Amino acid sequence: MSTDHPLYIYNSLTKTKEVFEPINPPFVGLYTCGPTVYNEVHLGNIRTFLTFDIVYSYLTHLNYKVRYVRNITDVGHLTDDQDAGEDKIEKRARLEKIEPMKIVQKYTNGFHATTKLFNLLEPNIEPSATGHIIEQIEMIERILKNGYAYEVNGSVYFDVKKYAEKYNYGELSGRKIEDLLEQTREELEGGDEKRFFADFAIWKKASKATIMKWNSPWGIGVPGWHLECSVMSTKYLGKEFDIHGGGMDLKFPHHECEIAQSVGADKKNPVKYWMHGNMLTVNGTKMSKSLGNSFLPMELITGNHPLLEQAYSPMTVRFFFLQANYRSTVDFSNEALKAAEKGLKRLLEAINTIDKLSANETSTVDIDALINKCEESMKDDFNTPITIAHLFDGVKMINSINDGKESISTSDLEKLKNHYHTFTFDILGLRNEEQTTSSSNQTVDELMNLIIDIRNESKEKKDWTTADLIRDELKKLHISIQDNKESSTWKYEN
């Protein structure tokens, strides 16, 4: 670490940039809402996970001991994102005519394969909702005991009105309880069971047709979607922890409800810094399935989509996302992606050039200043676009040294090399896709093992899977298998 500049984080709760002070340094608890594994993750999801990948890697770079928890939602997320409709996974299971837990396994594997493709770091703990039913029941009991929930006909609802008498419901999302109170009773979901339309289910009575259901003190049912994150963050990070992340669309009701549940159960405001990543647009319009302008990661990598002029590699997409601030929307266009492709190539070429530079007695360039600028921009709420701009200033410098217009000392050359490797590969998590390295081999190896697993899994059903697509795409990316038992490595061709 080269500067004493503090790290600032934009806190969505206070709507200000605050100096980051962990509750229990050097330990940092980081929780991110993971995917609901009922279909392929879309590119907007990847952007969100990338944001917290950078938070994780940069905090680690600053020598914090980070515990990164990212959950898998495998039950309880209903089709309307609230208390109505069918469980998303069960619906998919019905459509695909297979067990819900097979859906969970299939799309969890697909999610993992996709995260590897985009070089996202694995979380330290990846808990699932179905693995924490006992803890969820216990939290409901605590909320009931404190008087912030009520039971009706086998379901338990969080009592928002009661909670709002003492606490600030809407603190995170900016919703006002007075406005909510004005809404009419017609907006009640889940029949007339709720006392107030903003109340939300923390336990829902299961119908006969429901496949995934559990016994509870209130009868057979299913936990509410918001509950799992409160339960799992409390279990693995404590009643109060440092950073909770997620996409902007989760602020309300999901994250607002998480706060209410934790406070309702344990009387502690659970999260010190809330961070929210912004959305993805396409050619200036909101990305949406119905408009036909939403992409799956694989469509981008294959170029197999009417809006795409060519295929773009996973690292091009990663670099493209990092060229925007995580709090801004990112607009997807072929022009922007092509520019990102060129930019990444230029950066990686400069890193190769560093290896060829020869050192002189003295430096005419200021490496420390460059390093400080990069650290300071990252410490300004993980500002990756500014950091990348500084790295490009350095590229000019590298080329000037290479042309003999500037000179660099031995120790500065070492610093320059470390700096570019640390920032490009460790912090920004980019990868040179044209080079075969042992780590990329390993990644592809793991990816292919997953694919083989999924293919075995879905042998009886010749359905379209992430795995099949990824296998085909790897071929197109010139990655082929070397069928050698001694060194079963994957090799990039050309």
Instruction: Dig out the tokens for 167 from the structure.
Output: 């606490």
Q: Which stretch binds Zn ion (CB under 5 A): 26-34, 55-63, 124-132, 154-162?
A: 26-34
Task: Kindly report the backbone phi and psi dihedral angles of residue 432, in degrees, each rounded to the nearest multiple of 5, phi listed first.
Answer: -85, 105
Q: Does 259 bind Zn ion (CB under 5 A)?
A: no
Choose among 392, 387, 359: nearest CA to 372.
Answer: 387
**Is there a contact between 157 and 201 (Cβ–Cβ < 8 Å)?**
yes
Interface residue with Zn ion, options 28, 30, 33, 296 (CB under 5 A): 33
478: Cα separation from own chain's centroid: 28
Which stretches of 15-165 are assigned E, i.e. beta strand?
16-19, 27-32, 65-70, 149-152, 155-158
Write down the least CB distance from residue 33 to Zn ion, Å. Answer: 3
27-32 and 65-70 as β-strands: parallel, antiparallel, unpaired? parallel
Query: Distance between CA 493 and CA 490 in Å, rounded?
Result: 9
CB of residue 34 to Zn ion, shortest distance in Å: 8
| Footprint of Zn ion on 377-396 (CB under 5 A) | none
Instruction: Using the minimum distance from each CB to Zn ion, give the nearer residue, 229 or 243.
Output: 229
Least separation in angstroms between CB 102 and Zn ion: 23
- In the chain the first and final C-alpha atoms are separated, in Å, by 39
What is the smallest separation between the CB atom of 100 and Zn ion, expressed in angstroms? 20
Which residue lies nearer to Zn ion by CB, 33 or 370? 33
Give SS3 for 19.
strand
Q: Report, in Å, the least distance between residue 254 CB and Zn ion.
A: 6
Q: Which of residues 68-87 bind Zn ion (CB under 5 A)?
A: none
Site for Zn ion in 320-359 (CB under 5 A): none
Q: How many CB atoms lie within 10 A of CB 140?
A: 26
Region near Zn ion per CB under 5 A, out of 143-151, 229-237, 330-338, 479-487: 229-237
CB nearer Zn ion, residue 204 or residue 471: 204
Distance (Å, whole) CA 96 – CA 106: 12
Name which position in 164, 229, 378, 413 contacts Zn ion (CB under 5 A).
Answer: 229
Residue 72 or 229: which CB sits closer to Zn ion? Answer: 229
Q: How far is the CB of 107 from Zn ion (least distance, A)?
A: 17
Nearer to Zn ion, 256 or 299 (CB): 256
With CB under 5 A as the rule, give the number of residues binding Zn ion.
Answer: 2
- The answer to whether the Cα torsion of 270, 247, 5, 420 is positive or negative is positive
Place of tokens 């309300």: 252
- Please state the closest distance from residue 352 (CB atom) to Zn ion, in A: 42
Q: Give me the residues that bind Zn ion (CB under 5 A), please.
A: 33, 229
